[in-house]
């Protein structure tokens, strides 16, 4: 059993051209378990969150900014991989995804769930 982590941070100095900076941070944490040489199972949490961004009070060349946002996004993934042979594996994953934007009084939210079954070939 082992744990993998990655943390990220980014700052965009002027993404919309109205002089407002946009900062975000995120990453993932994944716990892996390999009960045999042919199987591995894992659980993963991905996330990203930004500071509030608002360029609606900025004007450049007579144009006012249009973007007001405070987005965040997260995924929970559980998966199983089976090594069929040296070059082939089968992968099954379930994913729960949530996107939110809380910049306005009526915040936006999108939720979705999905299941993936795929075969991977190495060459």
Summarize pLDDT for 86-103 with one digit per residue, the tens. 999 999 999 999 999 988
Provide, rounded to the nearest whole percent, the portion of the chain with pLDDT above 90. Answer: 84
Prediction pTM value: 0.81
CB 73 within 8 A of CB 50: no
How confident is the model at residue 76, as a pLDDT? 98
If you average pLDDT over every residue of the chain, what do you get? 95
Strand, helix or coil for residue 106: coil
Residue 106 has pLDDT above 90, yes or no: no
Place of tokens 């069929």: 84
pLDDT value at position 105? 78
Q: How far apart are CA 7 and CA 74, in angstroms?
A: 14
Beta bridge partners of 108: 101
Question: What's the pLDDT tens digit per position in 42-75?
Answer: 999 999 999 999 988 899 999 999 888 999 999 9
- Among 46, 70, 43, 66, smallest CA distance to 56 is for 66
């Amino acid at each position: 059993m082992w744990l993998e982590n990655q943390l990220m941070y980014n700052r965009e100095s002027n993404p919309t051209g109205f002089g407002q900076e946009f900062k975000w941070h995120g990453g993932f944490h994944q716990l892996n378990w390999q009960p045999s040489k042919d199987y591995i199972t894992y659980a993963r949490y991905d996330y990203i969150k930004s500071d509030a961004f608002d360029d609606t009070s900025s004007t450049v060349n007579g144009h006012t900014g249009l973007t007001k946002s405070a987005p965040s996004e997260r995924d929970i993934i559980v998966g199983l991989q089976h090594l069929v042979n040296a070059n082939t594996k089968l992968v099954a994953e379930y994913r729960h995804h949530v996107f939110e934007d809380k910049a306005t009084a009526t915040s936006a939210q999108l939720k979705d769930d999905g299941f993936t079954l795929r075969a991977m070939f190495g060459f």
